[in-house]
Amino acid sequence: MWDIFGWIRRRRMNRRELLRYWDGAAFRYGDPFLLWRRLKHHETLTIDTELWQAADRGDEPECTQLVEAVAEAFGVARFDGERGLSDWEILDLYAMLLDYLDTLKKKHNPQPISSPPTDSESSTSPEPPSEPVDSGLASG
């Protein structure tokens, strides 16, 4: 049976620009900027390019620390054999968040359609005539 109330709720939540993500058991909605701040200002971990490269190589403890920080920020559990998300799925949440924020940024700060005007040698105001113009009124 079609769930009309679920459809209406999802539609309403999508209009609010909330991030929809799977937590291993159900879909959740989260404030994307809040999620980003939780990661950006994490108490014990600085998430930067070096950390991502180390995690991508599978270096420990960096990989585990990154997975735990993302899971904590999103409020999801790691896979325990029955429930939760795998480490790859947890890291994918962060990538999904960055893509979503990028989309929101482009939506709210669109790029200019045309380039801004530049200085040129041609003037936009008409130049005054070089000789006086006879107005046809004779002084007399």
* pLDDT in the model for residue 49: 87
pLDDT class for 10, splitting at 50, 70, 90? low
Q: What values do phi and psi take at 28, rounded to 5? A: -125, 165
93 is a domain residue: yes
**Is there a domain that residue 138 lies in?**
no
Flag whether the pTM goes above 0.85. Answer: no
How many independent structural domains does the chain possess? 1
Q: Judge whether 63 lies within some domain.
A: yes
Model confidence pLDDT, tens digit, residues 100-119: 999 888 877 766 666 556 66
pLDDT tens figures, 29-45: 999 999 999 999 998 88
- Tell me, letter by letter, the H, E, C secondary structure of 11-74: HHHHHCCCEEEECCCCEEEECHHHHHHHHHCCCCCCCCHHHHHHHHHCCCCHHHHHHHHHHHHH
Q: Has residue 119 been placed in a domain? A: no
113 falls within a domain: no
Phi/psi zone of residue 17: left (φ > 0), alpha (ψ -120 to 50 degrees), beta? left
